Every structure is written in structure tokens, then in C-alpha cells.
């Protein structure tokens, strides 16, 4: 069972769509629901119109810690590009 105070920082990847592969960094208390919201077009405006997969997640004990880590990950393009390379879906396998 997940502690209600527990939060997650996550990195999503999208391999198809305008502009090529993209990443998105966010935080949530429920990874499954948040990923479903992004894929249903109900997440952040910048994630709409793409299919997203979870590339990376970290668990944090407080919202403050998660938000701080999110800020750092958003600025770490090298880390996110590495995730895209390691998580890239082969073409034609959906």
C-alpha cells in the first residue's frame, strides 16, 4: 500500500509524434493514474497528442523533495536523452 504522503518523480518518453522523440518530467502520488491521464490527453498540455511510456521513476517521502528533484531532472537533458536511447521502442512493434 502506498503512503499518501509518498510521491514519485517520473520521466515519460514518447517516440512518435511531431518533432521526434520527447521526454516529459513530472511528479505524482499515483504513477499508473498519471500515465493514463497523459495518454488520454488529460495531462499537461505539452504531453497531448502523443503516446507516452514510463522511462524512469523515483520514490520520495515528501512532495517538497519530489518537486525539488523534478526541477533538477527537467534541467538534466543528458540524463533524459540517455533514457530515450535505452528505452526506445523498436519500430513496428507498437
- Tens of pLDDT, residues 73-82: 999 999 999 9
- Tens of pLDDT, residues 27-55: 999 999 999 999 998 878 888 889 999 99
pLDDT for 56 beyond 70: yes
Q: Report the pLDDT value the prediction gives residue 3, as an integer from 0 to 100.
A: 46
Of 64, 58, 59, nearest to 79 by C-alpha is 58
- In this prediction, residues 52-76 reach a mean pLDDT of 95
Domains detected in the chain? 7-87 (3.40.1440)
The model carries a pTM of 0.84
Amino acid at each position: 500500500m502506498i503512503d499518501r504522503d509518498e510521491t514519485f518523480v517520473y520521466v515519460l518518453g514518447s517516440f512518435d509524434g511531431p518533432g521526434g522523440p520527447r521526454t516529459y518530467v513530472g511528479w505524482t502520488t499515483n504513477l499508473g493514474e498519471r500515465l493514463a491521464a497523459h495518454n488520454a490527453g488529460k495531462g499537461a498540455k505539452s504531453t497531448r497528442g502523443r503516446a507516452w511510456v514510463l522511462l524512469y521513476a523515483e520514490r520520495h517521502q515528501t512532495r517538497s523533495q519530489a518537486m525539488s528533484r523534478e526541477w533538477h531532472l527537467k534541467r538534466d537533458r543528458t540524463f533524459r536523452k540517455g533514457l530515450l536511447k535505452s528505452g526506445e521502442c523498436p519500430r513496428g512493434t507498437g
